[in-house]
Structure 1
Amino acid sequence: MPRFETPRFLKNLGARYNPPEQVDMTKPNIARVYSYFLGGKDHFEVDREMANYAAEIVPGVNEIAMGNRAFVQRAVRYLATERGVRQFLDIGSGLPTEANVHEVAHETAADSRIVYVDNDPIVLAHARAILSDIDTTDVIKADLRRPEDILTAPETRKLLDFNRPIGLMLGGILHHLADDEGPERLAQELCDALAPGSFLAISHFSRPERQLHPGEHDRALSLERAFIDKLGTGRWRDRDEILSYFCGWELVEPGLVPLEEWRPLPPKARVAGAYSMSPMTRLLICGGVARKN
């Protein structure tokens, strides 16, 4: 039977941390697989098997997770520092790591308000433990497939003012929705609820054009088959599909690009987001930030 080892920082919280019950340790889980890719300890043997299986198909796949986290960190810092955003709604936030959204936002403005959204019991238990003493940040259990539950949750309405700009973070979440679940429609419902001046940040698994990048195109398809086979989820979509999720909002420079190219930082910069992906994987995930006029 695989065993979950409580991370040290959660053990130090003592009674404030309540381990989740009824966690299925027989099936791989998106959040735990990502935790493994990011060098965390919040995973079971089945999650490690899935991650290693994907790495055998496309060596360096863990860089996709690392690059995604770095993009989200850069996007939050850009919105907080250069655009004055003081409210963030992070959907599909995943397991807490270093330099989470609230930590990056609070570097610029300590009064920034953040609502995290996830439906994974381990994510919720960890997030609630580390956020228990922070009154500007909260986490709710909800699913992207039901935007109304996110938008009307008491915690959301308490912290976020929907008459003012909000930074909506959809980092690495839309590609875990199947086509028939309507990711474009769900993104539109969320965007419609936001005030002018709001921003939308999206990162998404990318399938490059075969004619331009045949090797990367084939690697994307191989990863998609691996994810769907083992996790039941994971779509590598083309550029036009991903662009549709921005709901017609105006993309800020440099537009929808490989994450490595979105406002990169020097690799040796000692700030969150200074991560450089290798040429082998950098075309397999893209992202951008758009503004609602």
Structure 2
Amino acid sequence: MYDYLLGGTDNYKVDREACAELLRMAPSTRELALVNRAFLVRAVRYLAQERGVRRFLDHGSGLPTSPNVHEVTQAVDPSCEVVYIDNDPVVAAHGRMGLAEDPSTTAVLEMDMRETDKIFESPRVKHLLRDDQPVAALFISVLHCIRNDDDPWDLVRRVAARLPAGSYMVVSQLASDDPDLRNEITEFMDTVTGGNWGEVRSLDEVNRFFARLELLEVKEQKPVEVSLWHPDSDLAPRQRSKEWIEYGGVALVKPAAESSA
């Protein structure tokens, strides 16, 4: 569905039909997908260019729609390393085909992003962490695929705790302060994905993901609608409708002692 909304070709009739219904309920959905993709590109370029990050761990990466994380970061420095995590075998197969040119710097692991211990014990992620250089962990428009009962906030905390000092987190998720819209879209997406869906959350619920992190490039210490985060220019894509938004930010992982204070 996301690929279709972005104008990609890796989608099926059932995806297009589901998107048509979703656009009926929330007409700004395609706009939202586009601004979220632009946020992904800006965030990873910022971390590579401005913060010197050379290693990226992308949770729930989805189909490799261009420009993807490795393309953006390796345009800054070809030595940048990216590991994509996704539990969908179709995503993994597409990703591996597309990354065959340079497997030494980019990999796709077919794993459930909730299995933090398994991910961090995998040889490829161990290699990413081999000498305690900063790593950027990405959760871009994916935490809404996890139910509250599975505690996505704990997932973010667990990953942050496993990262080297000076690492970063990038988080965005679908959010709305309209409870009726949240419930309607959550129920619809749960149905069309066969139960592989979580929750559209309130802004306060998304704020909790950043409780122990230091937000960057924002005037206040709180997330923002992502088209407002560090825009490239006045012509950068903006989300106009506010029925639901992609809400998030880029944050520095605080040292354990400081984050527990």
Q: What TM-score comes out, normalization by structure 1 length?
A: 0.79
In the TM superposition, what is the alpha-carbon distance from 1:89 to its structure 2 partner? 0.3
Q: For 2:120 and 2:237, how far apart are their aligned partners in 1?
A: 32
**Among 94, 101, 107, which residue is 2:62 paired with?**
94
Q: For 2:72 and 2:89, how far apart are their aligned partners in 1?
A: 24
Q: For 2:180 and 2:170, how far apart are their aligned partners in 1?
A: 27
Q: For 2:183 and 2:34, how far apart are their aligned partners in 1?
A: 20
- Are 1:275 and 2:237 counterparts? yes
CA contact (8 A) 1:162 1:193 kept: no
Identical-residue share of aligned pairs (%): 37
2:29 aligned residue = 61
- Are 1:193 and 2:157 counterparts? no
Q: For 2:17 and 2:124, how far apart are their aligned partners in 1?
A: 36
Which structure has the larger Rg?
Answer: 1
Q: For 2:36 and 2:115, how far apart are their aligned partners in 1?
A: 24
CA contact (8 A) 1:137 1:159 kept: no
2:230 aligned residue = 263
Which has the larger displacement, 94-103 or 241-250? 241-250
- Are 1:284 and 2:245 counterparts? yes
Q: 1:223-242 maps to which residues of 2 (within 5 A)? A: 223-231=185-193, 232=195, 233-242=197-206
2:46 aligned residue = 78
Number of residue pairs the alignment of both structures matches:
248
Q: Secondary structure at the residue paired with 1:169?
A: strand
CA contact (8 A) 2:129 2:164 kept: no
In the TM superposition, what is the alpha-carbon distance from 1:204 to its structure 2 partner? 0.7
In the TM superposition, what is the alpha-carbon distance from 1:220 to its structure 2 partner? 4.0
1:35 aligned residue = 3
CA contact (8 A) 1:243 1:256 kept: yes
What per-residue deviation string (whole Å, max 9, x for no partner) do you get for residues 150-197 of structure 1? 111112122343612100110011111000011011111111001121
1:9 aligned residue = none
Q: 1:10-29 maps to which residues of 2 (within 5 A)? A: none
Q: 1:96-175 maps to which residues of 2 (within 5 A)? A: 96-134=64-102, 135-161=104-130, 163-175=132-144
Amino acid at match of 1:165: P
In the TM superposition, what is the alpha-carbon distance from 1:282 to its structure 2 partner? 7.5
The change in CA–CA distance for 1:238 and 1:246 in structure 2 (over 3 A counts) is same
Q: Secondary structure at the residue paired with 2:238?
A: coil
CA contact (8 A) 1:89 1:166 kept: yes
Q: For 1:239 and 1:59, how far apart are their aligned partners in 2?
A: 20
The change in CA–CA distance for 1:63 and 1:69 in structure 2 (over 3 A counts) is same
In the TM superposition, what is the alpha-carbon distance from 1:286 to its structure 2 partner? 0.6
Which has the larger displacement, 67-76 or 246-255? 246-255
The change in CA–CA distance for 1:282 and 1:97 in structure 2 (over 3 A counts) is farther
Q: Secondary structure at the residue paired with 2:191?
A: helix
Q: Secondary structure at the residue paired with 2:118?
A: helix
Structure 2 runs not aligned, ≥5 long: 255-261
What per-residue deviation string (whole Å, max 9, x for no partner) do you get for residues 63-121 of structure 1? 22212111111100110111111110001111111111011111211111110111111
Q: For 1:60 and 1:35, how far apart are their aligned partners in 2?
A: 16
